[in-house]
């Protein structure tokens, strides 16, 4: 497969656009095919088997377009489907998981108090329990499922400050945020709320997402395969969505440039 082949990036909907945006910034020569499955969103309240079936169908579509790698820009689909997809396909499949390690490392050996905000499915799955078990003996880690935040993005309500702050207060008011070192945004939809989280939490609380780490990991993997796009190539992001309405097309485009 040529190094000029595209990279497939997908999510249950619009959240993964935050990842595609990051990859495009960091790897401007790459051609990215983004697919959002908004007609089937949210994934975070589905069963793992449902998410596996939907994810396989998307990767099959990417394979037909000749992609050189796939990024699962969705923590939920990664927890449910990454193992199966890696067994099924021989190209690199890059997954995402909540950036808990980054949050723990910030303590430089001191115990950290961390909230992981993600979808109910991500927080319930074995993959996350395995991640927790690496860190929970040295740190205090809280799991906070926030499914309504996904709906706010999918409904194009990111400018509705009152709705968003009311939703964040509902999920986070039972914590004393002054005692929390980091909030991990363990769902790619939540990255669009960064400024709202910064308003909610004191400045001493770090807001952490895994997007830069994922873009970097993709770059390292492609480099080791000798598949990085050549420096003369002009990269771009092509957006598509299972919801083909004009509203969704406009919303996706505005998030890519947000």
Active site residues: 74, 187
11's enclosing H/E stretch is strand 7-11
Q: Establish if 150 lies at the interface with ligand DGL (CB under 6 A).
A: yes
CB of 187 to ligand DGL, least distance (A): 4
Q: Of the listed pieces 74-82, 207-215, 226-234, 249-257, which binds ligand DGL according to CB under 6 A? A: 74-82
Q: Counting contacts by CB under 6 A, is residue 38 touching ligand DGL? A: no
- Range 138-143 contact pairs with CB under 8 angstroms and sequence separation of 24 or more: 138/104, 138/111, 139/104, 139/107, 139/111, 139/112, 139/113, 139/114, 140/111, 140/112, 140/113, 140/114, 141/100, 141/114, 141/115, 141/116, 142/113, 142/114, 142/115, 142/116, 142/175, 143/115, 143/116, 143/118
Angle between helices 246-257 and 17-26 (to 10 degrees): 40
- Is position 58 an interface residue for ligand DGL (rule: CB under 6 A)? no
Q: Which is nearer to ligand DGL, 91 or 146 (CB)?
A: 146
By CB under 6 A, tell whether 248 contacts ligand DGL.
no
- Give the residue from 174, 177, 181 showing the smallest Cα distance to 200: 177
Q: Which of 44, 48, 92, 145 binds ligand DGL (CB under 6 A)?
A: 44
| Direct distance between the N- and C-terminal alpha carbons of the chain, in angstroms, rounded to an integer | 33
Is the Cβ of residue 54 or residue 222 nearer to ligand DGL in the bound state?
54
Tell me how far, at minimum, the Cβ of 64 lies from ligand DGL, in Å. 24
Is 243 a binding residue for ligand DGL by CB under 6 A? The answer is no
Report which residue's Cβ sits closest to ligand DGL. 44
Q: Is 18 in the site for ligand DGL (CB under 6 A)?
A: no
- 57-92: b (≥16 Cβ within 10 Å) or e: ebbeebeeeebbbbbbbbbbbbbbbbebbeeebebb
Min separation Cβ 171 and ligand DGL, Å: 14
Part of the chain binding ligand DGL (CB under 6 A), chosen from 11-19, 28-36, 127-135, 214-222: 11-19
- Considering only 167, 182, 188, 205, the residue that binds ligand DGL (CB under 6 A) is 188
Q: How far is the CB of 74 from ligand DGL (least distance, A)?
A: 4
Closest approach, Cβ 114 to ligand DGL, in A, equals 18
Please give the Cα distance from 249 to 251 (Å, whole number). 6
12 lines the binding site for ligand DGL (CB under 6 A): yes
Give me the residues paired with residue 237 across strands. 32
Whether 42 contacts 60, CB under 8 Å: no
Judged by CB under 6 A, does residue 119 bind ligand DGL? yes
Q: Which residues are at the interface with ligand DGL (CB under 6 A)?
A: 11-13, 15, 41-44, 74-76, 119, 122, 150, 187-189
């Amino acid at each position: 497969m040529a190094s000029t082949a595209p990279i497939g990036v997908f999510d249950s909907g619009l959240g993964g656009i935050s990842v595609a945006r990051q990859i495009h910034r960091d790897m401007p020569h790459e051609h990215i095919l983004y697919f959002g499955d908004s007609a089937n969103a949210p994934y975070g309240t589905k069963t793992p088997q449902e998410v596996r079936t939907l994810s396989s169908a998307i990767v099959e579509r990417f394979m037909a377009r000749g992609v050189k790698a796939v990024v699962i820009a969705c923590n939920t689909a990664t927890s449910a489907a990454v193992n199966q997809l890696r067994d099924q396909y021989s190209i690199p499949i890059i997954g995402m998981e909540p950036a808990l390690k980054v949050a723990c490392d910030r303590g430089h050996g001191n115990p950290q108090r961390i909230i992981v905000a993600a979808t109910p499915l991500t927080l319930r799955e074995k993959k996350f329990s395995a991640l927790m078990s690496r860190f929970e003996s040295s740190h205090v880690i809280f799991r906070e499922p926030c499914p309504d935040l996904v709906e706010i993005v999918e409904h194009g309500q990111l400018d509705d400050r009152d709705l968003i702050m009311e939703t964040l207060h509902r999920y986070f008011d039972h914590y004393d945020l002054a005692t929390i070192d980091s909030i991990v945004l363990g769902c790619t939809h939540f990255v669009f709320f960064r400024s709202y989280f910064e308003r909610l939490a004191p400045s001493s609380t770090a807001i952490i997402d895994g997007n830069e780490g994922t873009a970097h990991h993709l770059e390292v993997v492609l480099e080791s395969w000798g598949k990085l796009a050549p420096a003369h190539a002009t990269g771009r992001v092509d957006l598509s969505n299972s919801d083909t309405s004009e509203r969704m097309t406009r919303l996706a485009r505005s998030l890519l440039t947000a």
